Amino acid sequence: MAELKERTFIAIKPDGVQRAIIGEVIKRFEMKGFKLVGMKMLHASEDLLMKHYVDLKDRPFFPTLINYMRSGPVVAMVWEGKGVVKTGRVMLGETNPADSKPGTIRGDFCIDVSKNIIHGSDSVESANKEISLWFKDDELVNYTSCAFSWLY
C-alpha cells in the first residue's frame, strides 16, 4: 500500500553532528518503527542549500542560515513509513526550540532557533522535492523490514 511507503527527508545539521546527537535521532526514528532507506554524511554545497531553502531566500536570516548549514558536515537521511512526514515533524518539535515540548528532539537537545540541530520535511510534496535534491535514485534502497507485520 502506497501510504506505508511515505518518505520524509531528515537531516542532522552541523550542530547536531558536532554535539553527538546523530545516534539519538536515529534511535528515536528506529524505535518508533520507521524504516531507514537512505543515509549519507556530507558537507552540503552552497548551491544545494540555496535550492533546499529557496522558500526562505528573502528572509533576513537567510545568509546566516546558509553559513550555519555550511559550517560542518550534515547527516542526510530518508525515513519511510505510514504518516512519517507529519509524525516526523511532531518528533522534531517546533521550529523554535523554545516552543518545543520536552520529549521532542528540539525540545530535549537545543535552545536557539538558529541552532535547532535537525531538519524535517514539512509536507509530502516538500519531502519528495527534498529527497530528489539530496539523493540520487540509486542511493535509496527498497527492502522489507522484519518488523513490518508487527507494526501494521
Q: Is the dihedral of CA 84, 108, 56, 15 positive or negative?
A: negative
Q: Select from 27, 51, 45, 30 the least CA-distant residue to 131.
A: 51
Stretch that binds Mg ion, among 8-16, 62-70, 103-111, 121-129 (CB under 5 A): 121-129
Q: Is 13 labeled as ligand-binding?
A: yes
Choosing among Mg ion, ligand DAT, none, which partner's interface includes residue 18 (Cβ < 5 to 8 Å by kind)?
none
User: Cell match 512526514: residue?
Assistant: 85
Residue tagged active-site, from 7, 35, 52, 119: 119
- 95: contact with ligand DAT by CB under 6 A: yes
- 65: contact with ligand DAT by CB under 6 A: yes
Active site residue 52: no
Taking the C-alpha atoms of residue 26 and residue 57, their distance in angstroms, rounded to an integer, is 30
Taking the C-alpha atoms of residue 16 and residue 109, their distance in angstroms, rounded to an integer, is 9
List of residues contacting ligand DAT (CB under 6 A) = 56, 61, 65, 95, 113-114, 116, 119, 122
List of residues contacting Mg ion (CB under 5 A) = 122
